[in-house]
Structure 1
Amino acid sequence: MFHTVLVANRGEIACRVIRTLREQGIKSVAVYSDADRTAPHVQLADTAVHIGPAPARESYLVIDTIIDAAKKTGAQAIHPGYGFLSENADFAHACEAAGIEFIGPPASAIEVMGDKISARAAVEKREVPTVPGISRPGLSDDDIIAAAPGIGFPVLIKPSAGGGGKGMHRVETPEELPERLQAARREAAGAFGDDTLFLEHFVDTPRHIEVQVMADKHGNVIHFGERECSLQRRHQKVIEEAPSPLLDEETRAAIGQAACDAARSVGYVGAGTVEFIVPSARPDQFFFMEMNTRLQVEHPVTEEVTGVDLVALQLAVAAGEKLPLAQEDVTLTGHAIEARIYAEDAAQGFLPTGGTIKRVTLPTGAGIRVDSGITDGSEITSLYDPMLMKVIAHGANREEALSRLDDALAHTHIAGFTVNTEFCRFLLSVPEVAAGDLDTGLLDRVSDNFEPAKPNENALIGAAMVWLASRWPEKPTSAWAIPDAWRAGRTSDQKIRLASNGEDFLIAITGTPSDAQVSIDGEAAVPAAIFRVGDAWNVHIDGIAHACSVADLSDGEFAHVVLTDATGSIEFTRKDAVLATSEDADGGDKTLVSPMPGTVIAHAVAPGTAVAVGDAVVIVEAMKMEHTLRAAVDGVVTFHVEPGEQVPAGKPLATVEPQES
């Protein structure tokens, strides 16, 4: 076994790999960019090496720099995690040339499976079923447009290189196809440096089911059951579970065998995931989609139901050991479900968010696991993937796992900006999800029904009491120093206005922190008191005590209050502290402003072009996803930014000036 392993990644996957290295008694080496100098994975590792500026292309994606860091620290092997260089054949070759073990498959397997066209050809030789379509090298737009009617609409445009949904487009009609092909080529070129595309028929009401495989260097290949990954948007998974509620034992064995055959078709070694598209009505008619030649984000649900540490197995296989178990030794116990926590605002069309994390509150309890790469003070930017952490629940059955995950998400709080935790809870409450009646379009069909919950009364009262206590002097020098709104001859109340999720609340407080009456928007007053307990607070509301944590408390202002007994969480500002909209964003419908921090990818038209309502004008990328801004009025385009520019949220990007008649 290795004595030192470098982890060529960041965030939660780096932390997760480092934990297993520590358990195995192996020294861990982290790498970090300028943006990650104080990141959790750097603090967790035994040694850390600086590898360059914040942009990934200048740090985490520079092969020579990673190899050099491994040599300097005496690392015998490199674990690539997922993303970045994990499926880069050149990186695997570079490791081999440097005499460093790449904890992953051979470069030849990455090359074949990394190109979806060659991957289809390889698995078809093993009689693994594939989706009908056209897939050969060098397909032009004209080739694809000509073949589409024969394949049958709807069709799915897919990039030959890469994955994660980038460059994938579902197309319903022939008229849409030319514009979607241009967008797909641009996205594929930007994400993978290769704009090769192919086309498949879009399977009706499809389910996304994948199988975890592991292969050693001695020809042994086994699978660890399947995962259901159908709850996704823009081809990015949100909720995953194991096993799938769709498959019976016979189909489970068949799809597992097909996955092992797919791995054998390329002489696979290590951990990999074979992804299948499965018709909801005919689960026995599954089709190969692709193989991810790395560990998957959702691997924890497999670990929970099998009891196997997949990273530990990766290490053993890379060191040349035989798999310590055979297929008949793999058993599935109970059910596990995972929710991915993203920096995004589900109520605003899933726009990326970000900023400084003020406070992180994580859930605990029976069957709960959290894989996280963040901590208080972490800075989340558009430079890297928006996934912050994963919350995983394991139960004796699916119903218990669902219930445990919902409760865990209720106790998961990230202060500083909006995340999708509440949306994940909404998804779990959807009847089709509870019943296991899933397909890859379900999330998009129900997401418009999502509305952020209003802050509950206890959270508002707790926040108001924290505000009062923060202003109350510990040792007042006079009666005038006490902020109790006292008036000559009578008592009075203090009023503060809080803004949260676009709503205002007028809170009236009478009394002291230890003996107060609090009302919300003129409703009946409730007795309340607050006491400091170390760095936290204890809020008593109508005779019931609630543990309370506060983020960003300064000068009586605060950003986030969490009542940790699940009675509520609230993030807000004092209403009088809310800033007016930037004047730079003025211009009404004529001006297109960036809805999030990101990078301008392209002008969709030339400056001075006349456009109509709905025409694409400018394209912005954030968190690896493209967002097209379209004209809201007819007019002539003027651009205020150039492709390649990094822009903050609210930055004016272009103006569409209506033409005079």
Structure 2
Amino acid sequence: MSEPASTRVIRSVLIANRGEIACRVIASLRAMGVRSIAVYSDADARAPHVREADIAVRLGPAPAAQSYLDIAKVVAAAVETGADAVHPGYGFLSENQDFAAALAAAGIVFIGPPVVAIATMGDKIAAREAVTRRGVPVVRGLSRPGLSDDDLVAAAPDIGFPVLIKPSAGGGGKGMHRVDDPAQLRAALGTARREALAAFGDDALFLEHFVDTPRHIEVQVLADEHGTVIHLGERECSLQRRHQKVIEEAPSSLLDAATRARIGEAACDAARSVGYTGAGTVEFIVSARRPDEFFFMEMNTRLQVEHPVTEMVTGIDLVEQQIRVARGERLTIAQDAVVLSGHAVEARVYAEDPAQDFLPTGGTVRTLSWPTAGAGVRVDAGIDAGSVIGSDYDPMLAKVVCHGADRMEALDRLDEALAKTVLVGVGSNVDFCRYVLAQPRVRDGELDTELLDRLAADYAAPAPTPAALVAGALGVLDLGRAGDLWSSAIGFRIGVPSPITTRLHCGGHRYTVSALVTDSDTRTLRAEATIVAEEADGGAGDADEVWRGAVYLDHASAAAVTVRCDGIGSLWVVEQTSGTQRWVCGEDGTWVMQLAHRLETSEDADAAGDVRSPMPGTVVAVPGVDGQTVDTGDPLVVVEAMKMEHTLRAPVAGVASVTVRAGEKVDAQQILAHVAVPEVTEQ
């Protein structure tokens, strides 16, 4: 078949984004023979997307407002490099109608829908009106411009409780509130308006009935400029935490073939209602109790983060299709030619600590190894060893995506791929994703949009295995040079061997690892090891011996250490990121271990009053006053990182001293304040 004629020439594309989506777009452009142009901030000067592109242009400092979100700078970069078109990725300017209009004024193609489609679907009230005219079902509610709190309170009884308050502008769960009790509605409206105004600059709200046991089902659509609109099946996105997706899959186990066809056609009608072109996603809410009923939520006028699962089950490159539509080509894919083959599941890898209420993390990626691509495994990543993860951008680092003949095989393959992921230096949610995949309700497909929040409430980081503790204790030893006893770090004394004793703090517990080396050379070590678990507070109370046996370590490289305990072998990456901190990573989990000691000196006791930032970020408020007497738990400093605020409180009662000011950038573990405990004078 001959290639359809294009009405626009696109030989070079600027990607107005960063991270994994920029790398993903570059891959398709390279396959199509199209020149790729990257943009970057100072924080991303050495990022993978900068290296992979044919050309890279600096936009400005790290803050997004001064770089990736600066429309004038992005358009200027496109003009200066001779870009024919701009691909916005997702986030940043991807759904900004002013950006699309600015590109059009500069004679540059925006790889996305028309401005009117962005504007209409970006306003949730206008979107509901548009799709309703096409007969697309919407949730019962009240939505029109200019609704007051009185209007919404008066309409709520007819809508039916529980109700869901939603902002007209924006998304991502900001400003959304479920209200079950009519007496709480007015207060919740006030809160929602403040949040919407702060997040989107628009406090317009509307009200919907809350669908019982909701599941989040979205449909991928493609539309060309010649009137053809098709869908590529649906994705299940119900596994989300606080309205942010974590694990997605395609197709959904909830829908039968008849419902799949109906919801797909409804999605196409939603796209037709605004004259949509390109790739887009129509999101629906479906009750798990009534899977044959679905209701329009919103339309995302861009490529979605989770688009790889659709690509894996259809074999269609969505970025390539976006480029072809932007050229003015006709779609060459007929609706009846779209076949969903097998099942695909994606896990988003975030820089966060699930065991600490998903607190954002950060730092330098020291060791990184993804599962081998191929055989149903795909990794979309925007980081590499040496990448610095800060607080200026979204915490998503990568996506691990797996395909299988059926859902069970895809889930198993994803769990195995996550087990083989090695990420040292930055805390992540990899272990949490594996915990979620192992849950019976997830395995059985019994999902809803609140399931992940319920599962997260019961989550605890996995306890370190004996092999991990041995690796943490011995994996950083310098075994010296052949025949040179004095350069070796292993225990030695005249007469009898000396045991190596290491005390480690991990996950709120302390462990003592005692190892007696029986043989060693410059690469390998054999020992008899004993592990004793102490009390969580490190006191001198009872201790339990948790493991005793033979251990063999093979220092194959500077970072990789193979640890075998009583014949059980695992590959671990052991890295000492500071004098006292050790990372241990293997197929059973990832742990950060600290060399532990009791508070034996006055300096140790004084350090108990330190208030340290748990992650890199920006100080946004300082409620503590220098020299003020505070109680345990009083707020001292508020740090913002990755769009979340974290209040740091006094660890002990005493006199506070604050060392930072609002607006100051801080590093992880930096001391921001200190509480001095007054000395007790004996009478």
Q: TM-score, normalised by structure 2?
A: 0.86
Partner of 1:504: 510
* Alpha-carbon shift at residue 161 of structure 1 (Å): 1.4
* Alpha-carbon shift at residue 409 of structure 1 (Å): 1.1
**Equivalents in 2 of 1:105, 1:66: separation in Å?**
19
**Equivalents in 1 of 2:467, 2:445: separation in Å?**
34
Distance change (3 Å), C-alpha of 1:150 and 1:387:
same
1:473 aligns with 2:480: yes
Distance change (3 Å), C-alpha of 1:73 and 1:130:
same
Contact 2:286 2:294 in 1 (8 A): yes
1:575 aligns with 2:582: no
Partner of 2:451: 442
Partner of 1:428: 437
Partner of 1:658: none
* Alpha-carbon shift at residue 351 of structure 1 (Å): 1.7
1:85 aligns with 2:85: no
Q: Secondary structure, in 3 states, of the residue corresponding to 1:94?
A: helix
Select which of 336, 347, 352 maps to 1:339: 347
Give the number of aligned pairs. Answer: 636
**Equivalents in 1 of 2:371, 2:253: separation in Å?**
26
Select which of 311, 323, 342 maps to 1:303: 311
Select which of 227, 252, 257 maps to 1:219: 227
- Mean CA deviation greater in 232-241 or 453-462: 453-462
Counterpart amino acid of residue 641 in structure 2? A
Partner of 1:490: 496
**Equivalents in 1 of 2:422, 2:136: separation in Å?**
44
1:231 aligns with 2:231: no
Partner of 1:417: 426
Contact 2:39 2:58 in 1 (8 A): yes
**Equivalents in 2 of 1:372, 1:244: separation in Å?**
25
* Alpha-carbon shift at residue 442 of structure 1 (Å): 1.0
Partner of 1:659: none
Q: Secondary structure, in 3 states, of the residue corresponding to 1:285?
A: strand
Contact 2:610 2:674 in 1 (8 A): no
Contact 2:503 2:510 in 1 (8 A): yes
1:373 aligns with 2:394: no
Q: Secondary structure, in 3 states, of the residue corresponding to 2:413?
A: helix
Q: Following superposition of structure 1 onto structure 2, how do residues 243-642 of structure 1 map, counting pairs within 5 Å?
A: 243-364=251-372, 366-468=375-477, 470=478, 472-475=479-482, 479-511=485-517, 512=520, 513-521=524-532, 522=545, 523-533=547-557, 536-543=560-567, 546-552=570-576, 559-563=582-586, 566=587, 569-576=590-597, 597-599=616-618, 621-625=640-644
Partner of 2:68: 60
* Alpha-carbon shift at residue 206 of structure 1 (Å): 0.6
Contact 2:283 2:298 in 1 (8 A): yes
Deviations 1:401-437 (A, max 9, x none): 1111111111123212321111111111111111111
**Equivalents in 2 of 1:257, 1:96: separation in Å?**
31
**Equivalents in 2 of 1:639, 1:183: separation in Å?**
31
Distance change (3 Å), C-alpha of 1:184 and 1:359:
farther
Distance change (3 Å), C-alpha of 1:628 and 1:392:
same
Deviations 1:527-582 (A, max 9, x none): 42424357644444445654443334677x6632334xx35543323225999799
Deviations 1:302-331 (A, max 9, x none): 000000000000000001110111100100
**Equivalents in 2 of 1:137, 1:173: separation in Å?**
25
**Equivalents in 2 of 1:551, 1:31: separation in Å?**
33
Partner of 1:161: 169
Counterpart amino acid of residue 184 in structure 1? A
Counterpart amino acid of residue 466 in structure 2? E
Contact 1:618 1:654 in 2 (8 A): no
Q: Secondary structure, in 3 states, of the residue corresponding to 1:145?
A: helix
**Equivalents in 1 of 2:606, 2:194: separation in Å?**
32
Structure 2: gaps of 5 or more residues: 1-8, 533-544, 624-631, 676-683
**Equivalents in 1 of 2:196, 2:507: separation in Å?**
36
- Mean CA deviation greater in 545-554 or 304-313: 545-554
Contact 1:506 1:520 in 2 (8 A): yes
Distance change (3 Å), C-alpha of 1:239 and 1:483:
closer
Structure 1: gaps of 5 or more residues: 588-592, 605-612, 656-661
* Alpha-carbon shift at residue 260 of structure 1 (Å): 0.2
Counterpart amino acid of residue 54 in structure 2? D
Contact 1:5 1:76 in 2 (8 A): yes
Q: Secondary structure, in 3 states, of the residue corresponding to 2:290?
A: coil
1:3 aligns with 2:11: yes
* Alpha-carbon shift at residue 376 of structure 1 (Å): 1.1
Counterpart amino acid of residue 225 in structure 2? K
Counterpart amino acid of residue 530 in structure 1? D
**Equivalents in 1 of 2:622, 2:594: separation in Å?**
37
1:41 aligns with 2:49: yes
Q: Secondary structure, in 3 states, of the residue corresponding to 2:207?
A: strand
* Alpha-carbon shift at residue 361 of structure 1 (Å): 2.0
- Mean CA deviation greater in 449-458 or 79-88: 449-458
Q: Secondary structure, in 3 states, of the residue corresponding to 1:514?
A: strand
- Mean CA deviation greater in 159-168 or 125-134: 159-168
Distance change (3 Å), C-alpha of 1:107 and 1:584:
farther
Contact 2:471 2:561 in 1 (8 A): no
Q: TM-score, normalised by structure 1?
A: 0.88
**Equivalents in 1 of 2:420, 2:434: separation in Å?**
11
Distance change (3 Å), C-alpha of 1:278 and 1:618:
farther
Counterpart amino acid of residue 491 in structure 2? A
Contact 1:484 1:510 in 2 (8 A): no
Partner of 1:12: 20
**Equivalents in 2 of 1:560, 1:394: separation in Å?**
31
Q: Secondary structure, in 3 states, of the residue corresponding to 1:28?
A: strand
- Mean CA deviation greater in 296-305 or 370-379: 370-379
* Alpha-carbon shift at residue 86 of structure 1 (Å): 0.2
Distance change (3 Å), C-alpha of 1:401 and 1:164:
same
Contact 2:471 2:574 in 1 (8 A): no
Contact 1:367 1:394 in 2 (8 A): yes
**Equivalents in 1 of 2:302, 2:581: separation in Å?**
42
Distance change (3 Å), C-alpha of 1:203 and 1:647:
farther
Deviations 1:604-659 (A, max 9, x none): 9xxxxxxxx999999865323456899999xxxx999887665667877999xxxx
**Equivalents in 2 of 1:20, 1:582: separation in Å?**
56
**Equivalents in 2 of 1:644, 1:110: separation in Å?**
34
Q: Secondary structure, in 3 states, of the residue corresponding to 2:220?
A: strand
Identity between Structure 1 and Structure 2 (%): 58
Deviations 1:199-229 (A, max 9, x none): 2111111110000001001111000000010
